[in-house]
Amino acid sequence: MKRIPYSRQCIDQDDIDAVVEVLKSDFLTQGSKVPEFEAAVTQYVGAKYGIAVSSGTAALHVACLALEIGPGDRVWTSPISFVASANAALYCGAEVDFVDIDPDTFNMSVSCLAAKLYEAARVGTLPKALIVVHMAGASADMQQIAALAASYDIAIIEDAAHALGGHYQGRPVGCCQYSVITCFSFHPVKSITSGEGGMAMTNCPQLAERMQLFRSHGITRDRQKMNRDDGPWYYEQQVLGFNYRMSDIHAALGISQLRKLDGFISKRIALASQYRDALVDLPLCLPVFSADSAWHLYVIRVKSATRRELLYQHLKRQGIDVNVHYIPVAVQPFYAIGADVPNAENHYSAALSLPLFAELSDDAMERIIGCLTRFDW
């Protein structure tokens, strides 16, 4: 019996041919493909600048660096996310705290944010930035979050690792309408993949320039920006940067994948709709359906932690890989800061992610749904 993964990349011959073409070219890195990929994603989401980097985590890190987040600053994010959302701020020396989630959307709760900001303003502990996570592919309520942040002069970074191809208020996630920077991931389980990679989108030329500097050792070759000029060979390190460049090999795959993104998202939406219709009568809490979501994950919630574990084992025995998204970052031993996030902890105790990816077959869906309906609820 063939196992059904909870997610996987969708690679076809066009993708392979695009990578092989680069492998046969003169440039494996720092050629024409990275700028081409940046321009393609920028055009797709409607932002002005895209800075391709080696991972989604790197995108979050250079975003924090560009905003000059450092020791003494505070950054708030969601506890229901991968640890990279919080780690990026720690890399800069900032202090991290967490805003509880909305139990229906799994995204940052507007009411919890408002209450936390009010108290922080009272005691003088406001954050410099919010990293707002679009959990499972559905955008957070960015208009209300942005309005709250603006009233306290707080910058917003969107962690849209799950959300490329999704929309909010009729515009693509990544256009930066309500944020200064939006970060994408191109890990193999995301909407599209470049193998590994990420991109930071912004409409601010100064932030774009700083992120470009930080991704490449802090080095510039722009003679107009140098403090001295010893000749055409000269380059100048201006900040402590990192080796976060994306290669042309990865970018070529990303370009090819981007051409198929709308089709991938349409299939994910159809699969989410199929799950909704098939599971509606089971004793589960299903995610809020939205055709604007990129549907990176399909997260059901089981009525108790005990039943969740039994269901997990039942599906695994049937060759169906499921996962839990996420263990709240705030309770990870490394953090363990005692954050007040009861909604996140309740979510974790019941959440289970079912298989969802663009090449999930009808036969596989039938197996999954059959195993769920036959479970001893």
Question: Can you say whether the dihedral through the CA atoms of 81, 84, 86, 89 is positive or negative?
Answer: negative
Nearby residues of 292 by Cβ (< 8 Å), 6 or more positions away? 138, 139, 166, 167, 168
Domain boundaries, the chain: 13-258, 261-374
Report the alpha-carbon distance of residue 337 to residue 359 in Å, rounded: 40
Lowest-confidence region among 69-73, 216-220, 304-308: 304-308
What tens digit of pLDDT does each residue of 221-233 get? 988 888 888 888 8
Q: Answer whether residue 305 shows pLDDT above 90.
A: no
- Amino acid 22: pLDDT: 98
- Amino acid 214: pLDDT: 98
Q: Does domain 261-374 have CATH number 3.90.1150.10?
A: yes
Catalytic residue numbers read 190
Mean pLDDT of 355-360: 98
Q: For residue 352, what is the enclosing H or E element?
A: strand 351-354
- Amino acid 304: pLDDT: 83
Q: Answer whether residue 336 shows pLDDT above 90.
A: no
- Amino acid 224: pLDDT: 85
What tens digit of pLDDT does each residue of 155-180 get? 999 999 999 999 999 999 999 999 99
Mean pLDDT of the chain: 97
Q: Answer whether residue 337 shows pLDDT above 90.
A: no
Q: Given this chain, do its domains 13-258 and 261-374 carry the same CATH topology?
A: no
pLDDT above 90 as % of the chain: 93
Report the alpha-carbon distance of residue 300 to residue 345 in Å, rounded: 15
- Amino acid 75: pLDDT: 98
Residue 357 burial class via C-beta count within 10 angstroms: exposed 0-12, middle 13-18, buried 19 and up = buried
Distance of CA 303 to the CA centre of its chain: 27
Q: Answer whether residue 255 shows pLDDT above 90.
A: yes
Answer for the pair 340, 324: CB distance below 8 angstroms, yes or no: no
Here the tokens at position 294 are 């990129």
pTM: 0.96
Give CATH for domain 13-258.
Answer: 3.40.640.10
What tens digit of pLDDT does each residue of 127-165 get? 999 999 999 999 999 999 999 999 999 999 999 999 999
